[in-house]
A and B are shown apart, each in its own frame.
Chain A
Amino acid sequence: MSDILRRAPALVALYAVLLAYAAVTLMPFAWMLITSFKESRDVFRLPPSFVPTMLYGPEPFANYTEVLTRYDFLLYFRNSFFVSTMAALGQVATCALAGYAFARMELPGKTVIFALILATAFVPTEVTIIPEFLLMRGLGWIDTFLPLIVPSFLVGSFGTFMLREYFASLPAEYGEAARIDGAGPWRIFWRVYLPLARPALISIFVIAFINNWDELLRPLLYLNSPELRTVPLGLMRFVGEFEAEWTLLMAGSVASTLPLILIYVLGQKYVLQGFAGGGVKG
């Protein structure tokens, strides 16, 4: 107790700094939220007001309904959900198969393949994106969702690495027992090891979902039709066309952030578990 008293001034200073920085990280969110509940005429007012006036009005969510329906953001959300879910499923599938094979199966040259997968992950996107674009163009996939989804079914260095560690940390005896019962390689993988890797799989799903939801470059390159826009692309196009409509834009921004916070909060336990499990052997 006396120790705490002695440290009191230092602790007060410490919490003051922490609170000040929390204000810095939260301020843009607060400002985004407040602006999304303002009438558009209240936005250009000096000094800026911190009162979300619409919350007291008859239609508090008018900005949200307007941006979602009149400006097609509902459609953009559907597109983003579809693309992010498919891509995240693709990541889970590829990384599970590859991670399992690298950890538990035998193939000449697999260490070389694994080393190449890891090493090429360090080559910046800027190098590979130009040939990737030319390839997608050659395949006639421009203005479809395929370029945003198919690569996730084939490439995933981080997840492969993580799941390889995870599968390697599980006891080999489980597979042995299943084999004696007559299970083939696929059944051992599907019935025995895959269910055990659930936390790691969920964490890969969550991370991949967030990354794909956030992706701007590829939608920018591959999607032209307005009805295919993802949320980030929709927000950018909205700024381009209606620069001054800050209340609507901020409503769209808040809405686009909510699914990420939600999936992170729901998946947080698994994300942490996944990392802890993957790190056992690391």
Chain B
Amino acid sequence: MTEIALTRVPDPRGRVPVSDTEPAVPPRRSRWKTWAPALLFLLPAIVGLLVFRLIPIGWAFALSFTSWRIFDDVAWVGLDNYAHILTSPVSREVLGNTLWFTAMYVPGVMIVSVTLAVLLNNALRSSAFFRGAFFLPYITATVAVTLAWRWIFSTRFGLLNHLLGQVDIDRIAWLADPAWALPAVAIVSVWKDAGFYMILLIAGLQTINPGLYEAARVDGAGAFRRFYAITLPLLSRSLFFVLILALVRSTQTFEITYALTNGGPNRASTTLAFYIYQNAFVHFEMGYASALAYVLCFVIGLITLLNFHLRRRWVHE
């Protein structure tokens, strides 16, 4: 299969083998002379693929069927870890939190980034300033800005409660109230990531032919009509890509949780990725953490497959 594909590629010396002056398949010695440099060039990548990808993926899978605290002996437990994940109230709470977080983060980030992208695409001038301002949260140090948010969320002295107080909203204990801790993580995550998705969507918007809007306007279509009839269908490929990225990312939040709430109060803001970290590196339950990681991997795979299945229904090709 690969051999066939390779014969169509020019060889590294940049020429296509010509059959009457030299054989299409060179003799063994000269074959090695072309393969050896390629092998050397790829050596780091191949070692990395084995040592940091393939072997760990298999190793973690094997570990997920064991009970192993790092200083004890390894005990084979079959499917116990997975059964425990499905039945234990703690892991169910964590899975519920993850779902709730996704339900806040994905619509939040989609609405904000689509709105910003469409507005910026319609702005007359100075969009460079806005683009920069909206993208800034994404490129700046996560821990630093999350700590700034932690200070903003402070119940008594925080800026947010002060601002809300101006419109007569009572103080919210953002980080101490179990009902608000996870929404706070979601707010910071949306704030940080929306600009990144916006950039992807602007690239998609710029491929839409402006003549379509002109034609629609001449036909008397209003701004909302133009958005629904032209922008959404023609942007659907970018939207699909952004939706998948956002869904996958929503299951993997770690830094912001760690710096903002540390998963608390109690477990109120502990989502799956953070729970895996706690199990593996706070309690050193390597077997259970590996099983959780495979559940996460399975969830991500399922989301992606489901999306590709539904893609035909709404993505305009």
Contact of B6 among A24, A100, A108 (CB under 8 A): A108
Contact of A106 among B11, B48, B54, B59 (CB under 8 A): B11
Is there an interface contact between B2 and A112, defined as CB atoms closer than 8 Å? yes
**Is B273 positioned at the interface, with any CB of A under 8 Å from its CB?**
yes
Is there an interface contact between B119 and A18, defined as CB atoms closer than 8 Å? yes
Scoring B6, B53, B252, B293 by chain A CB atoms within 10 A of each residue's CB, the highest score goes to B53
A-side contacts of B120, CB under 8 Å: 18
Is there an interface contact between B157 and A46, defined as CB atoms closer than 8 Å? yes
**Is A151 positioned at the interface, with any CB of B under 8 Å from its CB?**
yes
Q: Secondary structure at chain A's binding surface: helix, strand, loop or mixed?
A: helix
Is there an interface contact between A257 and B145, defined as CB atoms closer than 8 Å? yes
Is there an interface contact between B63 and A131, defined as CB atoms closer than 8 Å? yes
A-side contacts of B3, CB under 8 Å: 108
A-side contacts of B5, CB under 8 Å: 111
B-side contacts of A144, CB under 8 Å: none
| Known A28-B152, A105-B38: A216·B48 in contact at CB below 8 Å | no
Is there an interface contact between B281 and A133, defined as CB atoms closer than 8 Å? yes
B-side contacts of A175, CB under 8 Å: 12-14
Assembly CA distance A132 to B133 (angstroms) = 37
Which of A56-64, A197-205, A230-238 forms part of the interface with chain B?
A230-238
Is there an interface contact between A130 and B289, defined as CB atoms closer than 8 Å? yes
Which of B84-92, B101-109, B254-262 forms part of the interface with chain A?
B254-262
Is there an interface contact between A129 and B119, defined as CB atoms closer than 8 Å? no
Q: Which residues of chain B from 123 to 147 have a CB within 8 Å of any chain A CB?
A: 123-124, 129-130, 133-134, 136-137, 139-145, 147
| Number of residues on chain A facing chain B (CB within 8 A) | 96
Contact of B10 among A17, A45, A100, A172 (CB under 8 A): A172
Is there an interface contact between B63 and A44, defined as CB atoms closer than 8 Å? no
Is there an interface contact between B159 and A22, defined as CB atoms closer than 8 Å? no
Is there an interface contact between A11 and B52, defined as CB atoms closer than 8 Å? no
A-side contacts of B122, CB under 8 Å: 14
Is there an interface contact between A216 and B144, defined as CB atoms closer than 8 Å? no
**Is A65 positioned at the interface, with any CB of B under 8 Å from its CB?**
no
The residue in chain A whose Cβ has the minimal distance to the Cβ of B161 is: A48
Assembly CA distance A27 to B151 (angstroms) = 12
Tell me the smallest distance from the CB of A69 to a CB of chain B, in Å.
19
Tell me the smallest distance from the CB of B177 to a CB of chain A, in Å.
19
Assembly CA distance A252 to B145 (angstroms) = 11
Tell me the smallest distance from the CB of B151 to a CB of chain A, in Å.
5
Which of B39-47, B235-243, B307-315 forms part of the interface with chain A?
B39-47
Scoring B9, B122, B140, B296 by chain A CB atoms within 10 A of each residue's CB, the highest score goes to B140
**Is A66 positioned at the interface, with any CB of B under 8 Å from its CB?**
no
Assembly CA distance A235 to B150 (angstroms) = 13
The residue in chain B whose Cβ has the minimal distance to the Cβ of A36 is: B148
Contact of B151 among A31, A104, A111 (CB under 8 A): A31
A-side contacts of B35, CB under 8 Å: 106-108
**Is A146 positioned at the interface, with any CB of B under 8 Å from its CB?**
no
Contact of A128 among B57, B162, B281 (CB under 8 A): B57
Assembly CA distance A28 to B256 (angstroms) = 15
A-side contacts of B258, CB under 8 Å: 216, 220, 236
Is there an interface contact between B144 and A133, defined as CB atoms closer than 8 Å? no
Contact of B140 among A14, A47, A154, A257 (CB under 8 A): A257
Tell me the smallest distance from the CB of A168 to a CB of chain B, in Å.
10
B-side contacts of A15, CB under 8 Å: 123
Chain B proximity mask over A94-132: 1 for CB below 8 Å, otherwise 0: 100110111011111111110011001011111111111
Is there an interface contact between B141 and A108, defined as CB atoms closer than 8 Å? no
Assembly CA distance A209 to B302 (angstroms) = 32
Is there an interface contact between A17 and B119, defined as CB atoms closer than 8 Å? yes
A-side contacts of B149, CB under 8 Å: 28
Contact of B280 among A106, A111, A130 (CB under 8 A): A130
Tell me the smallest distance from the CB of B263 to a CB of chain A, in Å.
14
A-side contacts of B49, CB under 8 Å: 113, 116-117, 120, 155
Is there an interface contact between A48 and B51, defined as CB atoms closer than 8 Å? no
**Is A249 positioned at the interface, with any CB of B under 8 Å from its CB?**
yes
**Is A173 positioned at the interface, with any CB of B under 8 Å from its CB?**
yes
Chain A proximity mask over B88-119: 1 for CB below 8 Å, otherwise 0: 00000000000000000000000010011001
Tell me the smallest distance from the CB of A135 to a CB of chain B, in Å.
7
**Is A85 positioned at the interface, with any CB of B under 8 Å from its CB?**
no
| Known A29-B136, A106-B38, A185-B12: A126·B293 in contact at CB below 8 Å | yes
Contact of B48 among A94, A127, A232 (CB under 8 A): A94
Is there an interface contact between A172 and B14, defined as CB atoms closer than 8 Å? yes
Contact of A155 among B48, B140, B273, B293 (CB under 8 A): B48
Q: Which residues of chain A from 1 to 32 have a CB within 8 Å of any chain B CB?
A: 10-11, 14-15, 17-18, 21-22, 24-29, 31-32
Is there an interface contact between A48 and B145, defined as CB atoms closer than 8 Å? no
Scoring A120, A130, A185, A231 by chain B CB atoms within 10 A of each residue's CB, the highest score goes to A130
Contact of B34 among A28, A106, A135 (CB under 8 A): A106
| 15 other A-B residue contacts (CB within 8 Å) besides A22-B134, A127-B294, A235-B143 | A14-B119, A22-B133, A26-B133, A28-B137, A32-B148, A35-B151, A94-B48, A107-B42, A123-B297, A128-B56, A128-B57, A130-B280, A130-B290, A185-B38, A257-B144
Instruction: For the complex of A and B, list the 9 residue pairs with the smallest distance between their C-beta atoms, beginning with the closest.
Output: A154-B48, A176-B14, A253-B144, A131-B56, A101-B41, A105-B38, A98-B45, A107-B38, A232-B143
A-B contact pairs, 16 of them (CB 8 A): A26-B133, A29-B140, A35-B148, A98-B42, A105-B38, A108-B6, A120-B49, A123-B57, A154-B44, A160-B45, A176-B14, A235-B143, A236-B258, A250-B147, A253-B143, A256-B141
